[in-house]
């Protein structure tokens, strides 16, 4: 985008300040004078929908996220309150979370304690199981899309790339960040919730180890590693990580669907067992 617009008002929402920029959107902190709360408003440039190469994709991302307004009510999912598409502006009104994203805890000098990581990932697995039961696969799980609300409180956001089980079966290829994509996603195979389980495993790895499981100088090399190379366990970079946690990460990140967690509940139960101080399953 051309950068933040100097907006004073978006629809019925007075603008307080510009919060940040995404690839296709600008996010503003606004005040909802009716509900008496602050909201985050994501504005998508209407001009993008006319882009010769990606216009259809941008429109689909917007429509997908807008279609979830009022549907995903869960304590660990960023709520979408409203979506508006008019001539000048297309925007989505969301819950405002002021703690930044989990990206801030992914560098070696700012890591969270291991037990906090386990609790955060547990909350994410419950939220994603809730979405899965509603027929929604996120497909772009990464630290930048998990908002931090303090302590171990998190909210998953950015459902624009979601695959929604409905009559519409068209897949958007090449959405997401290759570092967090499952082998099935980088190979553009049909996807289900198990791609999110893999991505959540990579997020857990990143939060524990302070680095990604695969690091490469280009996407081709990265995709090769994602599909063929077994990463070092997180404990290789942080010795205090117990083997039970290494095992959970390994199972979430298993390349083959047969070896990966088949259901969110299994992933959650193993995390809960670790949190209670019990040995996790196999």
| Catalytic residue positions, numbered | 140
Angle at 84 between CA 78 and CA 86, to 5 degrees: 155
Strand partners, 40: 29, 94
CB atoms closer than 10 angstroms to residue 170: 8
Question: Taken in order 143, 57, 23, 225, is the CA torsion positive or negative?
Answer: positive
The answer to whether the CB of 165 falls within 8 A of the CB of 136 is: yes
CA distance 105 to 81: 28
> Helix, strand, or coil here: 234?
helix
Number of Cβ atoms within 10 Å of the Cβ of 75:
13
Q: DSSP letter for 16, please.
A: E
The tokens for 120 are 């955060």
Q: What is the number of other CB atoms lying within 10 angstroms of the CB of residue 24? A: 19
What is the SS3 assignment for 148? strand
Closest CA to 193 of 246, 268, 120, 247: 268
Is the alpha carbon torsion for 29, 196, 219, 175 positive or negative?
A: negative
**What size, in residues, is the chain?**
282
């Amino acid at each position: 985008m051309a950068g933040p617009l100097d907006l004073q008002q978006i629809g019925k929402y007075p603008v307080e300040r510009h919060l940040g920029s995404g690839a296709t959107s600008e996010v503003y902190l606004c005040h909802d004078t009716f509900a008496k709360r602050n909201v985050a408003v994501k504005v998508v440039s209407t001009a993008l929908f006319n882009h010769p190469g990606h216009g259809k994709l941008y429109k689909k991302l917007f429509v997908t996220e807008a279609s979830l307004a009022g549907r995903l009510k869960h304590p660990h999912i960023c709520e979408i309150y409203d979506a508006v598409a008019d001539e000048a502006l297309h925007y989505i009104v969301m819950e405002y979370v002021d703690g930044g994203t989990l990206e801030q805890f992914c560098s070696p000098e700012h890591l969270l304690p291991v037990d906090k990581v386990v609790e955060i990932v547990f909350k994410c697995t419950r939220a994603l199981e809730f979405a899965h039961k509603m027929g929604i696969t996120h497909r772009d799980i990464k630290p930048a899309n998990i908002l931090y609300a303090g302590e171990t409180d998190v909210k998953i956001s950015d459902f624009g790339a979601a695959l929604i089980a409905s009559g519409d079966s068209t897949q958007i290829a090449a959405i997401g960040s290759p570092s967090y994509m499952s082998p099935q996603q980088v190979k553009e195979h049909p996807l289900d919730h198990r791609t999110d389980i893999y991505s959540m495993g990579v997020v857990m790895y990143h939060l524990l180890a302070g680095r990604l499981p695969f690091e490469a100088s280009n996407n081709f090399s990265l995709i090769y590693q994602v599909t063929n190379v077994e990463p070092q366990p997180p404990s290789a970079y942080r010795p205090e990580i117990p083997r039970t946690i290494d095992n959970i990460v390994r199972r979430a990140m298993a390349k083959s669907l047969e070896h990966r967690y088949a259901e969110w509940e299994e992933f959650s139960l193993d995390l809960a067992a670790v949190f209670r101080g019990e040995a996790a399953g196999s």
